Amino acid sequence: LTAVLQTVRVRCRGVSLSIPFSRDTTVEDLLLGCAAEMLRQGHHIDLKTSILLESYANPSLERRLRRYEPISVVVESWDQDSQNMLILLPDAGDPEGELTLDYVSTNTPEPQGFCLPLYHSQRPGKWSQVYVSLAHNGQIFASKKPYAKRTDKDSVNLCHLTDYDLYFPTEAESRKYLKPPKRYCYAIKSLQKKVIFMDADNYMHLFSTDDP
């Protein structure tokens, strides 16, 4: 059976591309499609140094896509396809190979979790200082006390990393709307559509710290 194709908008060096993909198309596959289309337009793209960014519009967030991720999973998380797109960075590179499947299978240690003092926000511009814990199973929760247990009375479950991923707010978004209290700002956003959340505060969590 022929796979049903959709298209996704990709921006590269001021050029807007509409690249077809199916449910089985990975980021690696889409990069090949982008390179072929750019070549037809007279531009050579080096796949070894190229990466794809997911550009999410509201709020303005970016995420480096791993080469083995299915494009359909990325696009299906968008509430409005017209607002979001992918950005091809031809010369960004991935010197540590963090975006490859080999990196995950050979270089990633078993997660041990952590407890860190961070500024946390569920609504842009409103921040509170808490201790954020990541349990070894991927559960993230916050407490006003260090090394609290998830079952403690004042602990608040934030999300589980099975359904979320790490994003970086754009500089303009951070400066104008998010206004993080510290130098670095990160977002953990759901990979599900926002409309399925009864409480929109659980859709995304922002963190800020001086420690990169």
Supply the pLDDT for residue 1.
43
Note the pLDDT of residue 105.
73
What is the per-residue pLDDT for 165?
95
The pLDDT tens digits of the residues spanning 104-130 come to: 776 666 767 899 999 999 887 899 999
DSSP-derived secondary structure for 117-133: EEEEEEETTEEEEEEEE
User: Can you give the pLDDT at residue 107?
Assistant: 64
Residue 59: asked if its preceding bond is cis (omega within 30°), the reply is: yes
Given a cut of 70, the residues of the chain with pLDDT beneath it are 1-4, 106-109, 111
* Residues 190, 174: Cα–Cα separation, whole Å: 19
| Helix runs in the chain, H state only | 27-40, 71-76, 101-107, 171-173
Q: What percent of the chain has pLDDT over 70?
A: 96
pLDDT score for 189: 94
Q: Provide the whole-model pTM.
A: 0.89
